[in-house]
Amino acid sequence: MPHVTIQHFPLDLTPGQKQRLADSLTAIVVEQFGTYAGAVSIALEPVEPVDWAESVYGPHIAGRSDRLIKAPEYES
């Protein structure tokens, strides 16, 4: 605990970019949750743009707005 999943449009990140992203996210999660780096896991989940509304926006954003700590500034 905790686990972070980032759903995003497909993007080719280099191993270095992935590592920097993981390091940055891990640092803030450790700080805010009062845990240690070894407890944090992070996953990237690419989603095709044509599938975004049905796969992500509907069920995870609009359908769970009470859980969002930051809402997007767009509508599906």
Residue 75's pLDDT is: 77
Number of domains in the chain: 1
When the pLDDT of each residue in the chain is averaged and rounded to a whole number, the result is: 96
Residue 54's pLDDT is: 97
Give dist(CA 40, CA 67) in Å, integer: 20
What mean pLDDT do residues 42-66 have? Answer: 97
Tokens of 65: 């707005």
Angle at Cα 40 formed by Cα 64 and Cα 33, nearest 5°? Answer: 70
pLDDT of 37 strictly over 90: yes
49 is catalytic: no
* Domain membership of residue 43 as a residue range: 3-67
The domain that contains 27 carries what CATH number?
3.30.429.10
What mean pLDDT do residues 41-46 have? Answer: 98
**For 4-15, how does the pLDDT look when each residue is reduced to its tens digit (9 = 90+)?**
999 999 999 999
The one catalytic residue among 2, 46, 59, 72: 2
pLDDT of 16 strictly over 90: yes
Tokens of 1: 């605990």
